[in-house]
Chains A and B, each alone.
Chain A
Amino acid sequence: MKSNKPVLIISTSNDNSTNNVIDWLTYRNKDFLRLNSEDIIDDVCIKISDFESDFEFTFKKKKYLLSEFNSFWYRRGIFKIKSNSENRNELDKAIANYRSIQNLSLYNYFFKSIRSKTHINKYHDIFINKLDILLIAMKAGFQIPRSILTKNPNDLSQKIKVITKSFTDHQFTFNNEGNSYYAGAMTIKINDKILSNEFNYSFFQEMVKKKFEIRLFFLHDKIFASAVFSQNDKKTIIDFRNYNNDKPNRVVPIKLPDSISVMIKTLMNSIDMNIASIDIIYDENKNYVFLEINPVGQFEQVSYPCNYYLEREIAKILA
Protein backbone atom coordinates (compact mmCIF):
# COMPACT_ATOMS: atom_id res chain seq x y z
CA MET A 1 0.00 0.00 0.00
CA LYS A 2 1.29 3.47 -0.87
CA SER A 3 2.33 5.47 2.17
CA ASN A 4 2.55 9.24 2.59
CA LYS A 5 5.58 8.86 4.80
CA PRO A 6 8.87 10.05 3.27
CA VAL A 7 11.83 8.02 2.07
CA LEU A 8 15.20 8.24 3.79
CA ILE A 9 18.23 8.07 1.51
CA ILE A 10 21.83 7.80 2.70
CA SER A 11 24.22 8.73 -0.09
CA THR A 12 27.00 11.04 -1.23
CA SER A 13 26.41 14.43 -2.78
CA ASN A 14 28.00 13.53 -6.11
CA ASP A 15 26.21 10.23 -6.72
CA ASN A 16 24.30 10.48 -9.97
CA SER A 17 22.41 7.21 -9.47
CA THR A 18 20.79 8.75 -6.38
CA ASN A 19 19.78 11.81 -8.42
CA ASN A 20 18.17 9.58 -11.05
CA VAL A 21 16.15 7.66 -8.44
CA ILE A 22 15.09 10.98 -6.89
CA ASP A 23 13.73 11.99 -10.31
CA TRP A 24 11.42 8.99 -10.16
CA LEU A 25 10.46 9.62 -6.53
CA THR A 26 9.48 13.19 -7.36
CA TYR A 27 7.54 11.94 -10.37
CA ARG A 28 5.58 9.83 -7.89
CA ASN A 29 5.13 12.88 -5.59
CA LYS A 30 7.12 11.10 -2.91
CA ASP A 31 8.87 13.09 -0.19
CA PHE A 32 12.42 12.21 0.67
CA LEU A 33 15.22 13.17 2.98
CA ARG A 34 18.70 12.68 1.61
CA LEU A 35 21.59 12.59 4.07
CA ASN A 36 24.94 12.82 2.33
CA SER A 37 28.27 11.89 3.82
CA GLU A 38 29.06 15.61 4.19
CA ASP A 39 25.89 16.24 6.20
CA ILE A 40 25.91 16.49 9.98
CA ILE A 41 23.01 15.47 12.21
CA ASP A 42 22.66 16.73 15.75
CA ASP A 43 20.63 16.29 18.94
CA VAL A 44 20.41 12.53 18.63
CA CYS A 45 18.01 11.11 21.18
CA ILE A 46 17.28 7.38 21.36
CA LYS A 47 14.25 6.37 23.37
CA ILE A 48 13.84 2.75 24.39
CA SER A 49 11.01 1.66 26.62
CA ASP A 50 8.07 -0.71 26.59
CA PHE A 51 5.77 2.00 25.23
CA GLU A 52 8.03 3.81 22.76
CA SER A 53 11.24 3.18 20.89
CA ASP A 54 12.55 5.68 18.43
CA PHE A 55 15.61 7.45 17.07
CA GLU A 56 15.24 11.21 17.02
CA PHE A 57 17.67 13.59 15.36
CA THR A 58 17.90 17.16 14.17
CA PHE A 59 19.05 18.11 10.72
CA LYS A 60 19.19 21.70 9.50
CA LYS A 61 17.17 22.78 12.55
CA LYS A 62 14.35 20.34 11.84
CA LYS A 63 13.53 17.35 14.03
CA TYR A 64 13.03 13.89 12.55
CA LEU A 65 11.99 10.54 13.97
CA LEU A 66 13.07 7.34 12.24
CA SER A 67 9.56 6.00 12.77
CA GLU A 68 8.29 8.79 10.48
CA PHE A 69 9.97 7.30 7.44
CA ASN A 70 8.28 4.80 5.17
CA SER A 71 11.35 3.25 3.62
CA PHE A 72 15.09 3.48 3.49
CA TRP A 73 17.78 3.25 0.82
CA TYR A 74 21.40 2.89 1.85
CA ARG A 75 23.21 3.92 -1.30
CA ARG A 76 26.72 4.73 -0.07
CA GLY A 77 28.71 6.85 2.40
CA ILE A 78 27.59 7.80 5.88
CA PHE A 79 26.42 11.06 7.43
CA LYS A 80 28.24 12.60 10.41
CA ILE A 81 27.04 13.02 13.97
CA LYS A 82 27.95 16.45 15.32
CA SER A 83 30.80 16.54 17.78
CA ASN A 84 32.57 19.65 18.99
CA SER A 85 35.90 17.89 19.11
CA GLU A 86 39.04 19.92 18.80
CA ASN A 87 42.30 18.74 17.39
CA ARG A 88 44.92 20.82 19.16
CA ASN A 89 46.99 18.16 20.88
CA GLU A 90 47.37 14.45 21.54
CA LEU A 91 44.75 14.53 24.32
CA ASP A 92 42.21 16.06 21.90
CA LYS A 93 42.98 13.23 19.48
CA ALA A 94 42.38 10.65 22.21
CA ILE A 95 39.06 12.33 23.11
CA ALA A 96 37.99 12.40 19.43
CA ASN A 97 38.96 8.76 19.06
CA TYR A 98 36.91 7.77 22.10
CA ARG A 99 33.92 9.76 20.85
CA SER A 100 34.09 8.18 17.41
CA ILE A 101 33.94 4.72 19.04
CA GLN A 102 30.91 5.86 21.07
CA ASN A 103 29.28 7.17 17.89
CA LEU A 104 29.76 3.78 16.24
CA SER A 105 27.20 2.43 18.65
CA LEU A 106 24.75 5.18 17.56
CA TYR A 107 25.31 4.40 13.88
CA ASN A 108 24.80 0.69 14.55
CA TYR A 109 21.56 1.33 16.39
CA PHE A 110 20.38 3.71 13.65
CA PHE A 111 20.91 1.11 10.94
CA LYS A 112 19.51 -1.76 12.98
CA SER A 113 16.38 0.26 13.81
CA ILE A 114 15.62 1.06 10.21
CA ARG A 115 15.97 -2.51 8.98
CA SER A 116 12.41 -3.29 10.01
CA LYS A 117 11.18 -0.89 7.31
CA THR A 118 11.10 -1.54 3.58
CA HIS A 119 14.72 -1.06 2.66
CA ILE A 120 17.18 -1.39 -0.16
CA ASN A 121 20.67 -2.27 0.95
CA LYS A 122 22.04 -2.00 4.44
CA TYR A 123 25.08 -0.14 5.70
CA HIS A 124 26.74 -3.39 6.72
CA ASP A 125 26.49 -4.73 3.16
CA ILE A 126 29.49 -2.61 2.18
CA PHE A 127 31.69 -4.79 4.38
CA ILE A 128 31.19 -7.99 2.40
CA ASN A 129 34.39 -9.93 1.97
CA LYS A 130 35.12 -10.72 -1.66
CA LEU A 131 37.14 -13.82 -0.74
CA ASP A 132 34.36 -15.19 1.47
CA ILE A 133 31.81 -14.45 -1.29
CA LEU A 134 33.73 -16.80 -3.61
CA LEU A 135 33.23 -19.65 -1.13
CA ILE A 136 29.55 -18.81 -0.71
CA ALA A 137 29.10 -18.63 -4.51
CA MET A 138 30.62 -22.11 -4.81
CA LYS A 139 28.22 -23.41 -2.16
CA ALA A 140 25.36 -21.87 -4.18
CA GLY A 141 26.50 -23.99 -7.14
CA PHE A 142 28.63 -21.57 -9.16
CA GLN A 143 31.92 -22.31 -10.80
CA ILE A 144 34.61 -19.79 -9.87
CA PRO A 145 38.07 -19.18 -11.35
CA ARG A 146 40.89 -20.84 -9.41
CA SER A 147 41.99 -18.12 -6.97
CA ILE A 148 44.98 -17.46 -4.76
CA LEU A 149 46.08 -14.62 -2.49
CA THR A 150 49.80 -14.47 -1.92
CA LYS A 151 52.86 -12.25 -1.91
CA ASN A 152 55.09 -14.98 -3.28
CA PRO A 153 55.23 -15.28 -7.10
CA ASN A 154 56.42 -18.88 -6.73
CA ASP A 155 52.98 -19.82 -5.44
CA LEU A 156 51.55 -19.18 -8.91
CA SER A 157 51.44 -21.99 -11.42
CA GLN A 158 53.49 -21.32 -14.54
CA LYS A 159 51.02 -23.31 -16.58
CA ILE A 160 47.94 -21.13 -16.35
CA LYS A 161 47.30 -17.54 -17.37
CA VAL A 162 46.31 -15.36 -14.45
CA ILE A 163 44.98 -11.90 -13.72
CA THR A 164 45.27 -9.83 -10.59
CA LYS A 165 42.66 -7.50 -9.13
CA SER A 166 41.72 -5.91 -5.86
CA PHE A 167 40.10 -8.11 -3.25
CA THR A 168 38.38 -5.07 -1.73
CA ASP A 169 36.18 -2.34 -3.22
CA HIS A 170 38.59 0.41 -2.31
CA GLN A 171 40.76 2.27 -4.76
CA PHE A 172 44.04 3.85 -3.82
CA THR A 173 43.79 7.58 -4.58
CA PHE A 174 46.19 10.46 -4.21
CA ASN A 175 45.52 14.08 -5.12
CA ASN A 176 48.45 16.29 -5.95
CA GLU A 177 48.79 19.67 -7.69
CA GLY A 178 45.63 19.42 -9.76
CA ASN A 179 46.10 15.76 -10.66
CA SER A 180 44.36 12.73 -9.20
CA TYR A 181 46.13 9.41 -9.11
CA TYR A 182 44.04 6.24 -9.07
CA ALA A 183 45.14 2.66 -8.67
CA GLY A 184 43.54 -0.64 -7.93
CA ALA A 185 40.26 -0.42 -9.83
CA MET A 186 41.22 -2.51 -12.86
CA THR A 187 41.92 -6.13 -13.56
CA ILE A 188 45.48 -6.67 -14.80
CA LYS A 189 46.71 -9.57 -16.93
CA ILE A 190 49.86 -11.01 -15.45
CA ASN A 191 53.04 -11.65 -17.44
CA ASP A 192 56.60 -12.46 -16.42
CA LYS A 193 57.64 -8.81 -16.53
CA ILE A 194 54.87 -7.71 -14.18
CA LEU A 195 55.52 -10.66 -11.93
CA SER A 196 59.17 -9.66 -11.61
CA ASN A 197 58.05 -6.59 -9.62
CA GLU A 198 58.11 -6.80 -5.86
CA PHE A 199 54.62 -6.82 -4.40
CA ASN A 200 52.67 -7.24 -1.20
CA TYR A 201 49.68 -9.57 -0.70
CA SER A 202 47.86 -9.70 -4.03
CA PHE A 203 44.87 -11.58 -5.32
CA PHE A 204 45.27 -13.70 -8.45
CA GLN A 205 42.68 -15.60 -10.45
CA GLU A 206 42.89 -17.92 -13.39
CA MET A 207 42.05 -16.02 -16.58
CA VAL A 208 38.78 -17.36 -17.97
CA LYS A 209 38.37 -17.36 -21.75
CA LYS A 210 35.04 -15.68 -22.21
CA LYS A 211 32.37 -15.69 -24.85
CA PHE A 212 30.90 -12.66 -23.18
CA GLU A 213 30.56 -11.09 -19.76
CA ILE A 214 27.35 -10.82 -17.80
CA ARG A 215 26.73 -7.87 -15.55
CA LEU A 216 23.49 -8.19 -13.73
CA PHE A 217 21.59 -6.15 -11.21
CA PHE A 218 19.78 -7.97 -8.44
CA LEU A 219 16.94 -6.05 -6.80
CA HIS A 220 14.51 -7.55 -4.31
CA ASP A 221 14.53 -11.02 -5.89
CA LYS A 222 14.40 -9.74 -9.47
CA ILE A 223 17.32 -10.22 -11.83
CA PHE A 224 18.12 -7.71 -14.58
CA ALA A 225 20.91 -9.18 -16.67
CA SER A 226 22.99 -7.75 -19.50
CA ALA A 227 25.54 -9.40 -21.78
CA VAL A 228 28.64 -7.33 -22.47
CA PHE A 229 30.48 -8.35 -25.63
CA SER A 230 33.90 -7.28 -24.45
CA GLN A 231 35.95 -10.20 -25.75
CA ASN A 232 36.69 -8.84 -29.23
CA ASP A 233 38.21 -5.56 -28.12
CA LYS A 234 41.82 -5.60 -26.92
CA LYS A 235 41.05 -2.76 -24.55
CA THR A 236 38.20 -4.56 -22.79
CA ILE A 237 39.11 -8.21 -23.17
CA ILE A 238 40.50 -8.42 -19.63
CA ASP A 239 38.15 -5.95 -17.95
CA PHE A 240 35.15 -4.34 -19.65
CA ARG A 241 35.40 -1.46 -17.16
CA ASN A 242 38.44 -0.34 -19.12
CA TYR A 243 35.87 1.31 -21.36
CA ASN A 244 36.49 1.96 -25.04
CA ASN A 245 34.62 5.22 -25.48
CA ASP A 246 35.34 5.41 -29.23
CA LYS A 247 33.78 2.03 -29.87
CA PRO A 248 31.78 0.94 -26.84
CA ASN A 249 31.13 -2.74 -26.18
CA ARG A 250 27.77 -3.98 -27.34
CA VAL A 251 25.46 -4.47 -24.36
CA VAL A 252 22.18 -6.38 -24.71
CA PRO A 253 19.56 -7.58 -22.23
CA ILE A 254 19.57 -11.35 -21.66
CA LYS A 255 17.48 -13.85 -19.77
CA LEU A 256 19.53 -16.24 -17.68
CA PRO A 257 18.73 -19.96 -17.41
CA ASP A 258 16.51 -20.76 -14.43
CA SER A 259 19.29 -22.81 -12.82
CA ILE A 260 21.60 -19.76 -12.78
CA SER A 261 18.82 -17.51 -11.45
CA VAL A 262 18.28 -19.98 -8.60
CA MET A 263 22.01 -19.91 -7.80
CA ILE A 264 21.99 -16.10 -7.72
CA LYS A 265 18.99 -16.00 -5.40
CA THR A 266 20.54 -18.66 -3.15
CA LEU A 267 23.74 -16.64 -2.98
CA MET A 268 21.94 -13.38 -2.19
CA ASN A 269 19.81 -15.06 0.48
CA SER A 270 22.93 -16.58 2.04
CA ILE A 271 24.49 -13.15 2.50
CA ASP A 272 21.20 -11.45 3.40
CA MET A 273 21.45 -8.79 0.69
CA ASN A 274 18.60 -7.50 -1.47
CA ILE A 275 20.51 -5.40 -4.01
CA ALA A 276 23.86 -5.82 -5.78
CA SER A 277 25.65 -5.75 -9.10
CA ILE A 278 27.05 -9.17 -9.96
CA ASP A 279 29.70 -10.02 -12.56
CA ILE A 280 29.71 -13.41 -14.28
CA ILE A 281 31.62 -14.75 -17.28
CA TYR A 282 30.01 -17.00 -19.86
CA ASP A 283 33.06 -18.99 -20.92
CA GLU A 284 34.01 -20.80 -24.11
CA ASN A 285 32.78 -24.09 -22.60
CA LYS A 286 29.32 -22.60 -21.94
CA ASN A 287 29.86 -22.37 -18.18
CA TYR A 288 28.66 -19.48 -16.06
CA VAL A 289 31.69 -18.50 -13.99
CA PHE A 290 31.04 -16.26 -11.01
CA LEU A 291 33.45 -13.35 -10.56
CA GLU A 292 32.24 -10.95 -7.88
CA ILE A 293 29.51 -8.94 -6.19
CA ASN A 294 29.48 -5.21 -5.74
CA PRO A 295 26.89 -3.96 -3.22
CA VAL A 296 27.22 -0.25 -4.00
CA GLY A 297 28.29 -0.24 -7.64
CA GLN A 298 26.93 1.84 -10.50
CA PHE A 299 24.03 0.30 -12.37
CA GLU A 300 23.55 2.73 -15.27
CA GLN A 301 25.57 0.46 -17.57
CA VAL A 302 22.89 -2.21 -17.09
CA SER A 303 19.88 0.09 -16.86
CA TYR A 304 20.34 2.34 -19.90
CA PRO A 305 21.54 0.04 -22.70
CA CYS A 306 18.95 -2.59 -21.76
CA ASN A 307 16.07 -0.18 -21.09
CA TYR A 308 15.50 -1.77 -17.70
CA TYR A 309 14.63 1.56 -16.00
CA LEU A 310 16.26 0.32 -12.80
CA GLU A 311 15.98 3.77 -11.23
CA ARG A 312 12.20 3.54 -11.62
CA GLU A 313 12.23 0.01 -10.10
CA ILE A 314 14.13 1.27 -7.05
CA ALA A 315 11.75 4.23 -6.66
CA LYS A 316 8.75 1.87 -6.89
CA ILE A 317 10.03 -0.20 -3.95
CA LEU A 318 10.81 2.87 -1.86
CA ALA A 319 7.49 4.59 -2.60
Chain B
Amino acid sequence: MKLHEIKSYLKSKSKILPLHAQFWTVKKDQPKRVEKEESEFYNSTHIKIYKFHKPISKIINFSNAHQVK
Protein backbone atom coordinates (compact mmCIF):
# COMPACT_ATOMS: atom_id res chain seq x y z
CA MET B 1 0.00 0.00 0.00
CA LYS B 2 1.23 3.52 -0.73
CA LEU B 3 1.43 6.15 1.99
CA HIS B 4 -1.55 8.14 0.68
CA GLU B 5 -3.60 4.93 0.49
CA ILE B 6 -2.76 4.07 4.10
CA LYS B 7 -3.64 7.59 5.25
CA SER B 8 -6.90 7.53 3.37
CA TYR B 9 -7.78 4.06 4.69
CA LEU B 10 -7.05 5.06 8.26
CA LYS B 11 -9.13 8.20 7.85
CA SER B 12 -12.04 6.03 6.75
CA LYS B 13 -11.58 3.95 9.93
CA SER B 14 -11.46 6.89 12.34
CA LYS B 15 -14.84 5.97 13.78
CA ILE B 16 -13.41 2.75 15.22
CA LEU B 17 -10.07 4.19 16.37
CA PRO B 18 -9.50 6.13 19.59
CA LEU B 19 -8.54 9.75 19.01
CA HIS B 20 -4.95 9.31 20.24
CA ALA B 21 -4.43 6.53 17.68
CA GLN B 22 -5.26 8.83 14.79
CA PHE B 23 -1.90 10.63 14.95
CA TRP B 24 0.67 8.64 13.06
CA THR B 25 4.43 8.70 12.97
CA VAL B 26 6.04 7.07 9.98
CA LYS B 27 9.62 5.81 10.25
CA LYS B 28 11.75 4.19 7.62
CA ASP B 29 12.87 0.78 8.85
CA GLN B 30 16.55 0.87 9.77
CA PRO B 31 18.81 -2.16 9.72
CA LYS B 32 19.64 -3.34 13.24
CA ARG B 33 22.75 -1.61 14.51
CA VAL B 34 23.74 -4.26 17.03
CA GLU B 35 26.83 -6.17 15.97
CA LYS B 36 26.38 -9.94 15.78
CA GLU B 37 29.04 -10.63 18.39
CA GLU B 38 27.48 -8.18 20.85
CA SER B 39 24.03 -9.58 20.21
CA GLU B 40 25.30 -13.10 20.90
CA PHE B 41 26.82 -11.99 24.16
CA TYR B 42 23.76 -10.26 25.55
CA ASN B 43 21.38 -12.92 24.36
CA SER B 44 23.62 -15.72 25.48
CA THR B 45 21.67 -18.84 26.21
CA HIS B 46 24.48 -20.55 28.10
CA ILE B 47 25.31 -19.72 31.64
CA LYS B 48 28.85 -18.45 31.59
CA ILE B 49 30.88 -15.95 33.52
CA TYR B 50 32.19 -13.09 31.45
CA LYS B 51 34.96 -10.95 32.91
CA PHE B 52 34.30 -7.32 32.13
CA HIS B 53 35.65 -3.97 33.10
CA LYS B 54 33.37 -1.84 35.24
CA PRO B 55 30.53 -0.45 33.11
CA ILE B 56 30.36 3.30 32.98
CA SER B 57 27.35 5.56 32.82
CA LYS B 58 26.84 6.70 29.25
CA ILE B 59 26.27 10.35 30.10
CA ILE B 60 28.08 11.89 33.01
CA ASN B 61 26.35 15.22 33.19
CA PHE B 62 28.34 17.17 35.73
CA SER B 63 26.36 20.33 35.10
CA ASN B 64 23.41 18.55 36.70
CA ALA B 65 25.20 16.47 39.28
CA HIS B 66 25.98 19.36 41.61
CA GLN B 67 22.27 20.00 42.07
CA VAL B 68 21.67 16.85 44.07
CA LYS B 69 20.30 17.87 47.44
Residues on A facing B (Cβ under 8 Å): 6, 13-14, 18-20, 22-24, 26-27, 29-34, 36, 39, 59-60, 62, 164-166, 172, 174-188, 190, 194, 197-203, 250-255, 300, 303-307, 309, 311-312
Contact = CB atoms under 8 A, between A and B. Distances in A.
Given A175-B29, A179-B29, A307-B65, A184 B1 contact: no
Contacts, number: 143
B4 interface: no
Task: Say what secondary structure dominates the interface of chain A.
Answer: mixed
Contact of A165 (B20, B26, B43, B61): B20
Interface residues of B, number: 46
A32 B60 CA distance: 28
Contacts of A197: 14, 19, 22
Interface of B: 1, 3, 6, 14-29, 32, 34, 39, 42-55, 57-61, 64-65, 67-69
B45 A39 contact: yes
Contacts of B57: 303-304, 307, 309
A300 B59 CA distance: 10
Contacts of A188: 19-20, 23
B43 A200 contact: no
A60 B45 contact: yes
A164 B19 CA distance: 7
Contacts of B39: 13
Contacts of B6: 174, 176, 181
A267 to B, nearest CB: 24
B52 A27 contact: yes
A166 B60 CA distance: 33
B65 to A, nearest CB: 5
A282 to B, nearest CB: 15
Given A20-B55, A311-B55, A34 B25 contact: no
A187 B18 CA distance: 12
